[in-house]
Structure 1
Amino acid sequence: MDTTIHPLSKKLLNTIQEEINFKTKPIGALGVLETIALQIGLIQDTPTPTLSKPTIMVFAGDHGIAKTNKVSPYPQEVTKQMVINFLNGGAAINVFCKQNSINLKIIDAGVNADFEDNSQLINAKIANGTADYSVKKAMSTEEYELAFYKGKKLVQETYNQGCNVLGFGEMGIGNTSSASLLMSFFTNTPIEKCVGRGTGVSDEGLKTKIKTLKEVSNFHESSIVTPKDALISFGGFEIVMMCGAMLEAASLKMTLLIDGFIVTSALLAAHAINSNIIDYCIFCHTSGEQGHKNMLNYLNATPLINLGLRLGEGTGCAIAFPIIKASVNFLNEMATFKSANVSEA
């Protein structure tokens, strides 16, 4: 399933770079802020970019593998409980979005629970969780196509509401296992170097998790050729939905804010489908999950912050957003040497 994403136009590169260089500062003195300002200017094809209605989408979904108790110390019910916490405004992502005036959308992509009607919850449920991929594929082709489509549709609706900067978050007990398997496939990395402690498994639990995921990888290996195959085999509905959403956001020339390990696993799939997507991504932080640094290295990505976060939910995006906002603000509001009558070097 192809999505058209054009490489960034470079026709205004020199114009934007000169605008940055002639602000009242030494060249390069604002460091990474200058890099971000240039990137967003190129994405929007203007020397005066704006960040309109910043939004973070949190996609929630359950994973059949979690029911085996081999990959997470937390019961699957926690996914439902955390979604309710999001809706009640009690999670970390709620706090940080409120602090930074970011719109927050909570999406039921495939939680193993039924929720009461709530205007704060977007019902995009594919099914009550994926199948246990230790014995069969996580989802059918039809479920994959529907999740991918719903991700794209959600982004189209958000774009039509005036949003041009979109962050991605997730919630789902067991989803670090899916992310590890996807990382192993897309980066050709041994599974033991991809698997981390997730929600905090013990040393013994980590050994069991690695053993389980090695068996899963071997079980599906012969049937996986394409990104779609990998997502069908051991993806989550929330991961597939994010993949479709990311591709659509880039095709609409939105700025994508990439969170941690699970979100980046969805991006690995999106990148395998269309590598131009990277031009539209800002990598917000380095996760404490062991595989994330290797994912970032594979994508030649430099994250903005490293605070040892490993919570998910899009929290890295929300915390990094003021830095991104500062980059656009200095480009638009800071005086040039000429306008301020300041002598240049």
Structure 2
Amino acid sequence: MSWYHEPAAVPSNDHRQNAEQRQSQLTKPAGSLGQLESLAITLASLQASDQPQCDNVSITVFAADHGVAAEGVSAFPQEVTAQMVQNFSAGGAAISVLAKSLGAQLGVINVGTVSELPDMEGVSDQRIAAGTANFTKKAAMSSDQLQQALHIGQKTVLKAKENGAQLWIGGEMGIANTTSATALACAYLKKHAAEIVGPGTGLDNAGQIHKSSVIHRALDVFNATSQQPLKNLQYLGGFEIAALTGAYIAAGQIGLPVLVDGFICSVAALYAAAINPSIKPWLLLSHQSAEPGHSSVLAAFEQQPIIDLGLRLGEGSGAATAVPLLRLACDLHNQMATFESAGVDNKS
């Protein structure tokens, strides 16, 4: 059995029940804090703790290029992937600012930019290849390359856990990766590309129609089905998407809660859960992306995202934006008085 099929850790039902009981005793009408209550209860169960915490947050952005960019499916040139890696390192990207504001650990892993990059602070060079192949013509990656990407994701969350992370966030950067993610979503959800395709980096309507046709052509070449998630990843995925998939699986196996970012990360999470269904409880959905296909992907999880701010940047930015709400949920759960301790009458 491959490592990614090994079962996930089991959330603590005792701590869930304790958290539910405590919520019923806090000085508020039951359920009046809505999702802030359920988030605290979920985290208590996942962390096996009566005092859930999100103080130590680890964020990793995986970056890679995509051969399908040659089909003109992005509004930005492929060089932007490498340029944004440099921007992450310099602290100028949105996720860099958010991580600093949150006091979170931020790491960037280059799993496959087209060009080699110089050594940069905060960037780990783990290039598998100079981008994936153009999946309209051949498989995006070899089986061995897929295994490498999954393993990079696994190692990343193992290290985060060793460093004391209480919550892990994965992000991505890769020009044309919404095309890859859309193709993967179509293959798994049995949707036509036109139902899911979106603007990505800012395509106009004509650009989206072209993008849809490129994806449809690729799906015709490779007869993808929901029954073969690993093969779908190999033929249609990106190195950063596969690394995220491996990270989500490993996080569930070691009992590290993860906050899933937007469309691309949610597709990786969808595939992680398809490969290993036992990891699903460890995936917390951070936000509703403005990318049109995200709703279809989220529906497969039967879970309400924490926020909806019309975000569609990627990088892990939506998940990072939701962290303060998780922290507030924990603080409310841990610090509010009970009816008994405050001397307040409970309902009769």
TM-score bracket, shorter-length normalisation: over 0.9
Give 1:220 shift: 0.6
Distance 1:5 1:285 in 2: 24
Map 1:160-239 onto structure 2 (within 5 A): 160-221=162-223, 225-239=227-241
Render the CA deviation track for 1:15-72: whole Å, top value 9, x for unaligned. Answer: 2101111111111111100010010011012221222520111111100010232x11
Distance 1:222 1:98 in 2: 41
Aligned pair in 2 of structure 1 residues 42, 223: CA closer, same or farther (>3 Å)? closer
Render the CA deviation track for 1:83-138: whole Å, top value 9, x for unaligned. Answer: 11111110111111111212111111111121111231012211110011110000
Give 1:343 shift: 1.5
Distance 2:111 2:328 in 1: 33
Q: Contact between 1:152 and 1:244, CA under 8 Å: does it hold in 2?
A: yes
Residue in structure 2 matched with residue 60 of structure 1 by the alignment: 63
Give 1:275 shift: 1.8
Map 1:54-133 onto structure 2 (within 5 A): 54-69=57-72, 71-133=73-135
Aligned pair in 2 of structure 1 residues 86, 222: CA closer, same or farther (>3 Å)? closer
What TM-score does the superposition give when structure 2 sets the normalisation length? Answer: 0.96
Q: Give secondary structure in 2 for the equivalent of 1:11.
A: helix
Percentage identity across paired residues of the two chains: 36
Distance 1:14 1:30 in 2: 18
Residue in structure 1 matched with residue 273 of structure 2 by the alignment: 271
Residue in structure 2 matched with residue 34 of structure 1 by the alignment: 37
Q: Contact between 1:52 and 1:162, CA under 8 Å: does it hold in 2?
A: no
Distance 2:320 2:337 in 1: 28
Give 1:7 shift: 4.1
Distance 1:252 1:6 in 2: 6
Render the CA deviation track for 1:150-188: whole Å, top value 9, x for unaligned. Answer: 110111111111112001111100000111011111112
Residue in structure 2 matched with residue 4 of structure 1 by the alignment: 7
Q: What letter corresponds to residue 199 of structure 2 in structure 1?
A: R
What TM-score does the superposition give when structure 1 sets the normalisation length? Answer: 0.96
Q: Contact between 2:64 and 2:174, CA under 8 Å: does it hold in 1?
A: yes
Q: Which runs of 5 or more residues in structure 1 are unaligned?
A: none
Distance 2:110 2:151 in 1: 14
Aligned pair in 2 of structure 1 residues 222, 122: CA closer, same or farther (>3 Å)? closer
Render the CA deviation track for 1:227-280: whole Å, top value 9, x for unaligned. Answer: 110000010000000000111111111111011000011011101012232211
Q: Which runs of 5 or more residues in structure 2 are unaligned?
A: none
Runs of 4+ in structure 1 displaced over 4 angstroms?
A: 222-225
Q: What letter corresponds to residue 39 of structure 1 in structure 2?
A: T
Distance 1:169 1:34 in 2: 26
Q: How many residues align?
A: 344
Q: Give secondary structure in 1 for the equivalent of 2:124.
A: strand
Residue in structure 2 matched with residue 315 of structure 1 by the alignment: 317
For the pair 1:45 / 2:53, whether they are aligned, the reply is no
For the pair 1:22 / 2:25, whether they are aligned, the reply is yes
Aligned pair in 2 of structure 1 residues 223, 271: CA closer, same or farther (>3 Å)? closer
Distance 2:63 2:197 in 1: 21
Residue in structure 2 matched with residue 136 of structure 1 by the alignment: 138
Q: Give secondary structure in 2 for the equivalent of 1:34.
A: helix
Query: Does 79-88 or 185-194 show the bigger shift?
Result: 185-194
CA RMSD of aligned residues (A): 1.4
Q: Contact between 1:78 and 1:173, CA under 8 Å: does it hold in 2?
A: yes
Render the CA deviation track for 1:262-319: whole Å, top value 9, x for unaligned. Answer: 0011011101012232211221111111000111112112111111111001110111
Q: What letter corresponds to residue 115 of structure 1 in structure 2?
A: L
